[in-house]
Chains A and B, each alone.
Chain A
Amino acid sequence: MSNRTKTALIIGGGPAGLEAAIKIGQAGYSVTLVEKEPVLGGTLRKLCSSFPRWENPQELIDFKLQQLDQLPVVRVMTDTVVNAAERRGDSFLVTLQGKEGSNQVDVDAVIIATGFELFDASVYGEYGYGTYPNVLNSLEFEEKLKEWTAAGDKPEALQTVAFFKCVGSRDRSKGYPYCSKICCMYAAKQAGLVKDLFPDSKCYVFYMDYRAAGKEYEEFVRSVIEQKHVRYVRGRPAKVIPEEGRLLIRAEDTLMGIPIEVTADVVVLANAIIPSSGTKEMAELFGIKTGKYGFLDSDSKSPLQAGDRVFFAGACGFAVESLGAQYQGAAAAAEVVALFNQAD
């Protein structure tokens, strides 16, 4: 074994990658944290608020960045992607492509934390995503919420917002029969935020059931219904029809068996969570297994191990909320630290 300090490469600077970088750095090993965006924070950075405690995600990111600042062993490289990787015995020779050119680094373990993407809802012709400007996906709407909260200049005509859950998810015909796990929670959160910003507006959440499995999650959804007066309508919307600048939604109230219609200003689609393009690329580069839908899979040795010296954390493994991503980041860090300790 060489005497140099062992280095971990962490790909992705979202909540999972940040947590892993901090923990490995605190254990005294050096870390190279690579992020393709110009700033750290991942998808969490784009969010307006969090469930179940309505906290500002930026505060969490700022705190994590402070922790990183105190760790000289962690080298952060933003605007950088991993171009190539070559296994050399117990280490990898990895080519990093930054804006100013590429360089090669020698690393002893890799944590992939490349996050998720949203399913492209334009394949649902009936919802008109990509055709009607006021049909948004949840991340686009989150961005709007962030703007409205920060700037205080809100659209005055926003009377009705409708949320569709399970867009892509739980849909065999679109190839994603799984439940994306976090949509129930963020749809409730977004609907609650709309009611906070526009108290006179009406919010409808179309659902088949709501899945709130987590600490304080059920109470969170109930509080949105009971205290913020968001109306949950049971049924999967069938069609969105543009009507005089607004959007007419057709569905069935499956509790009464009545066909229903409602006119909304904005329709928000809670799209299925799918693996990001980066996740697929990394899986190929490092020659690791992916499951049926492209999420990284465990090699059964440990839940976060995808291959020899390759680990993963966060939504590249499966849809997970930011808290879960942090858990996984810390767990993957523990794997790496244990591995480095063994080798020494």
Chain B
Amino acid sequence: MPATQLSTDFHKTMKLDNVNTSLQEEIKLECGVDIELCMECGKCSGGCSNAHIFDFTPRKVVQLVKIGDEETLLKMDALSTCVSCHLCVDRCPSQIDIPRIIDYLREKAHKQGIEPTRKNVQLFNKLMLDYVQKNGRVAETHLMVRFNFKTGQYFKDAEMGRKMFFKGKLKPFPSKVKRIEQVRLLFRDVPARREG
């Protein structure tokens, strides 16, 4: 895992007087997510599908917003490793939309030109969206092969791919949605907004 440079030194005393609440207010305004509703129970992190590889679990992401540590948030590895599965928000007793917060932070980091901790994740996103733009849906086999070639890891997951292929889980030819022009319209309306 690439090491994340943390701006919060967790051994150094933090002055609550200097806590910047502007990020919290920004998220409330821009995303409609009110983190004051957080009960700090940790159910989000307990159920998170990727918590085992997170540098900051969902609860800690919310807490970092609370203490206004924007620098850590924009650089954290979780921006790359969160797969937006929505288990956290699905289980949250206060229905705090954490994936929305993470999406917002991704966009913000991207706009500020902050390099993501994992380049391949960005590449994967780009390739996947290319397929969506072209076909209206993702061609998994092709995406996998293209991703592996572009990243130089030619035989990554090849064995699993073979098994899946013989079980009929992978389609050799990409398929298109019926009304691809509708998908094109979507991409035309939101041109610059790229995930990743």
Contact = CB atoms under 8 A, between A and B. Distances in A.
A262 B34 contact: no
Interface in B1-48: 8, 10-17, 34, 36-37, 40
A155 interface: no
B60 interface: yes
Contact of A261 (B8, B13, B34, B60): B13
A13 to B, nearest CB: 40
B67 interface: yes
B80 interface: no
Contacts of B64: 256
A260 B10 contact: no
Given A225-B36, A226-B36, A255-B40, A260 B63 contact: no
B18 to A, nearest CB: 10
Contact of B16 (A225, A229, A261): A261
B16 A233 contact: yes
Given A225-B36, A226-B36, A226-B37, A256 B63 contact: yes
A260 B15 contact: yes
Q: How large is the interface on B (under 10, 10 to 19, 20 to 34, 35 or more residues)?
A: 10 to 19
Given A225-B36, A226-B36, A234-B40, A256 B17 contact: no
Interface string A210-226: 00000000000010011
Contacts of A250: 13
A229 B34 CA distance: 11
A41 B11 CA distance: 50
A256 B10 contact: yes
A229 B21 CA distance: 11
Interface string A243-264: 0000000100101111111110
B40 A261 contact: no
Contact of A262 (B16, B40, B59): B16
Contacts of B12: 258-259
Nearest to B40: A255
Nearest to A264: B17
A326 interface: no
Given A234-B40, A253-B67, A255-B63, A262 B15 contact: yes
A160 B17 CA distance: 9
B10 A258 contact: yes
A256 B36 CA distance: 16
Interface in A255-288: 255-263
A253 B14 contact: yes
Secondary structure at the A interface, as helix, strand, loop or mixed, is strand
A261 B15 CA distance: 5
A204 interface: yes
Contacts of B37: 222, 226
Contacts of A160: 17
B13 A256 contact: no
B170 to A, nearest CB: 43
Nearest to A228: B36
Interface in B44-68: 59-60, 63-64, 67
Contact of B60 (A222, A256, A260): A256
B67 A256 contact: yes
Nearest to A249: B16
A259 B63 contact: no
A183 to B, nearest CB: 19
Contact of A257 (B10, B13, B40): B10
A253 B13 CA distance: 10
Interface string B62-97: 011001000000000000000000000000000000
Contacts of B8: 258
Contacts of A231: 16
A193 B63 CA distance: 25
A259 B13 contact: yes
Contacts of B36: 225-226, 229
Given A256-B10, A259-B14, A263-B17, 14 more contacts: A226-B34, A229-B36, A253-B67, A255-B60, A257-B10, A258-B8, A258-B10, A258-B14, A259-B12, A260-B13, A260-B15, A261-B14, A261-B17, A262-B17
Q: Which 6 A-B pairs have the closest CB atoms?
A: A262-B16, A259-B13, A226-B36, A258-B14, A260-B14, A261-B15
8 contacts: A250-B13, A255-B60, A255-B63, A256-B67, A259-B14, A260-B14, A262-B15, A262-B17
